[in-house]
């Protein structure tokens, strides 16, 4: 049964956030006998609670606390107050994610070495590589039940996949299948198989998709070593004169300020909230924020090169039926500078319901050019383009002191300018995506701009050398030994793959390190 720890218990590990990073880390540590207090800003929602209605679900799950945006990215114009489509709930964005679970390619761990100097990009090699991560990827795939790994079968292809597959074959693509998905193709790990219901983004009501909300969190609680406090928003991380962190201040569900002591603090609030918290924790000893001697906290924000392509056909597709993202073309994921850009991209099936299609197909669009597109909704097929974007020092999360959240805390401003490499890749990817649908007879195709970001990466990046980044190869901050970063903000570079599997693998690995350091008496 769930543990209860005293606010003055300074033997606990405090983890901030319960998503793919924090939620997995909490369970992994609890399984090893480590006492953990997890603080989650959102509430608890389980499959029975999920709503298969796009706007209602958005209202239930999305993080809509104020944020601001700047830069030339189109999201800042179309969705100025909503730079990200991520979740505020126990389990975090593992409720919303589509389930695509891909390992990095070997060269993507070494972007600087592989791509060389790219003007304007702040590239760096990860201090770890594929060989180091292979056993942790296997553990992550086993935990998530990833299809097409470990002998698990692939998912069946839905209508949207069949259109996509036929077009891909017409263009000569070879690596085309229904994906490596953390969505069960058969019963696995006490979770049932996919019922082809759609609404993967709104939380899987069958529990067929892996989410920390109903796997790692309750299993961690069952050990008696984990207490999850929901609706608790962390305001500040505290430290002593020796420069070690000692606990956190947070607003509880009643809005009262509390202080939880801690032996170790792990930050896993996503790539906006994690740097925001480190910056908002500035003190006289650390005037630029915690763990920020490098000045890299908040910098190198990456969101993946993204875009979508929709095609309209003369006959029905009904793309919304079935698993949202069970379809992938991987041929373009390679690094091949002859295409006019470094790095690569994946093409993955995607569908939106009519309400979100109206909001996202061409934000701001109106008139018959727009409405005739929606008139073809039933005959539409869709795909998402997701590729590696370039880290840039000036793409960053900063504190906006002019805008405060409901607790009076400065909100995150998210600044992003597309790098020329991102633009070249997007334009190339649009052409390929449109060609795929035209090869199947599309009568009209739409190169749709990026949505608010779901892959938010890099704002506390991992580096071998303390001057280049915020955390070391274990996610431990270079500056403060008992302060860790445990989410996607650790990413040194973004690679072309959906990031969740790597976040989970890093969290499993970090749990080994933290438990080991604790038992060795180093932490």
Partner 1 sequence: MGNNQGPKGLTRRELLSRATAAGATFMVGTGFVTSGSAAWAVEASALKPETLATLVQMARDIYPHDKVADEFYVIAVKGYDTAEAAPAIEAGIAALNAAAQGKGNASYLDTGWERDRVDILRGMEDSAFFQQIRGGLVTGLYNQKAVWPIFGYEGESYSQGGYIERGFDDINWL
Applying CB under 8 A, which residues contact partner 1?
Answer: 52-53, 55-56, 58-59, 64, 77-82, 156-159, 162-163, 166, 194-199, 205-206, 315-318, 320-322, 353-355, 357-359, 363-364, 366-368, 370-371, 374-375, 377-378, 440
> Could you give the angle at the alpha carbon of 265 between the alpha carbons of 228 and 519, nearest 5°?
100
In Å, what is the CA distance from 63 to each residue of 88, 415, 456? 5, 18, 13
Quickly count helices (H) and strands (E) in the chain.
Answer: 12, 17
Closest to partner 1 by CB, 158 or 459: 158
Least Å distance between CB 197 and partner 1? 3
Closest to partner 1 by CB, 56 or 175: 56
Least Å distance between CB 302 and partner 1? 22
Q: Distance between CA 457 and CA 274 in Å, rounded? A: 11
Closest to partner 1 by CB, 269 or 353: 353
Closest to partner 1 by CB, 80 or 406: 80
Question: CB atoms < 10 A from the CB of 65, how many?
Answer: 17
Least Å distance between CB 353 and partner 1? 6
Closest to partner 1 by CB, 52 or 293: 52
Q: Distance between CA 38 and CA 484 in Å, rounded? A: 14
Six token digits for residue 212: 């920390």
Closest to partner 1 by CB, 251 or 377: 377
Element (H, E) at 28: helix 22-31
Least Å distance between CB 174 and partner 1? 19
Which DSSP state fits 151?
T
Who's near 191: CB < 8 A, 6+ residues apart? Answer: 145, 184, 207, 208, 210, 215
Q: Which of 8, 100, 106, 17 is nearest to 63 (CA)?
A: 17
Least Å distance between CB 105 and partner 1? 30
Closest to partner 1 by CB, 299 or 415: 415
Least Å distance between CB 491 and partner 1? 26
Paired with 382 in beta bridges are 310
Q: Distance between CA 333 and CA 354 in Å, rounded? A: 30
Least Å distance between CB 312 and partner 1? 12
Paired with 183 in beta bridges are 209
Closest to partner 1 by CB, 244 or 318: 318
Q: Which of 98, 99, 95 is nearest to 43 (CA)?
A: 95
Q: Which of 452, 453, 436 is nearest to 165 (CA)?
A: 436
Q: Distance between CA 503 and CA 32 in Å, rounded? A: 19
3-state secondary structure of 331: helix
Least Å distance between CB 177 and partner 1? 15
């Amino acid at each position: 049964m769930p543990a209860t720890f005293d606010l003055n218990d300074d033997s606990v590990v405090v983890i901030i956030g319960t998503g793919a990073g924090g939620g997995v880390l909490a369970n992994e540590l609890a399984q090893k006998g480590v006492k953990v207090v997890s603080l989650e800003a959102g509430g608890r929602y389980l499959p029975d609670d999920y709503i298969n209605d796009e706007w209602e679900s958005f209202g239930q799950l999305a993080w809509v606390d104020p944020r601001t945006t700047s830069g030339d990215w189109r999201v800042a114009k179309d969705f100025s107050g909503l730079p990200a489509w991520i979740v505020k709930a126990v389990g975090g964005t593992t409720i919303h994610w589509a389930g695509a679970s891909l390992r990095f390619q070997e060269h993507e761990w070494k972007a600087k070495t592989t791509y060389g100097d790219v003007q304007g990009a702040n590239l760096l090699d990860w201090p770890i590589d594929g060989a180091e991560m292979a056993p942790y990827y296997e553990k992550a795939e086993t935990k998530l039940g990833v299809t097409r790994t470990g002998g698990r079968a692939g998912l069946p292809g839905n209508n949207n996949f069949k259109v996509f597959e036929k077009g891909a074959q017409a263009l000569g693509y070879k690596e085309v299948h229904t994906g490596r998905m953390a969505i069960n193709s058969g019963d696995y790990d006490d979770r049932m198989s996919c019922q082809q219901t759609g609404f993967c983004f709104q939380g899987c009501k069958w529990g067929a998709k892996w989410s920390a909300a109903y796997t790692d969190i309750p299993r961690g609680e069952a050990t008696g070593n984990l207490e999850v406090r929901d609706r608790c928003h962390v305001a500040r991380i505290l430290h002593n004169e020796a420069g070690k962190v000692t606990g956190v201040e947070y607003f509880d569900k009643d809005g009262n300020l509390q202080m939880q002591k801690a032996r170790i603090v792990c930050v896993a609030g996503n790539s906006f909230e994690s740097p925001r918290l480190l910056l908002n924790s500035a003190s006289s000893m650390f005037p630029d924020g915690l763990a920020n001697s490098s000045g890299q906290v908040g910098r190198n924000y990456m969101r993946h090169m993204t875009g979508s392509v929709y095609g309209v056909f003369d006959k029905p597709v009904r793309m919304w039926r079935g698993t949202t993202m069970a379809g992938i073309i991987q041929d373009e994921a390679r690094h091949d500078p002859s295409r006019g850009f470094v790095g690569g991209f994946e093409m993955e099936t995607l569908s939106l319901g009519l309400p979100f299609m109206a909001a996202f197909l061409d934000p701001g669009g109106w008139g018959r050019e727009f409405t005739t597109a929606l008139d073809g909704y039933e005959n539409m097929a869709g795909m998402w383009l997701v590729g590696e974007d370039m880290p840039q020092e000036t793409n960053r999360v900063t504190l906006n002191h002019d805008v405060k959240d409901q607790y009076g805390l400065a909100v995150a401003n998210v600044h992003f300018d597309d790098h020329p490499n991102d633009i070249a890749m997007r334009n190339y990817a649009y052409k390929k995506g449109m060609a795929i649908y035209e090869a199947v007879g599309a009568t009209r195709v739409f190169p749709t701009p990026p949505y608010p970001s779901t892959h938010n990466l890099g704002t506390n990046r991992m580096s071998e050398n303390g001057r280049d980044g915020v955390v070391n190869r274990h996610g431990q901050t270079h500056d403060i030994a008992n302060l860790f970063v445990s989410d996607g903000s650790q990413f040194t570079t973004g690679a072309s793959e959906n990031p969740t599997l790597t976040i989970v693998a890093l969290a499993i690995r970090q749990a080994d390190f933290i438990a080991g350091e604790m038992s060795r008496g180093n932490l």
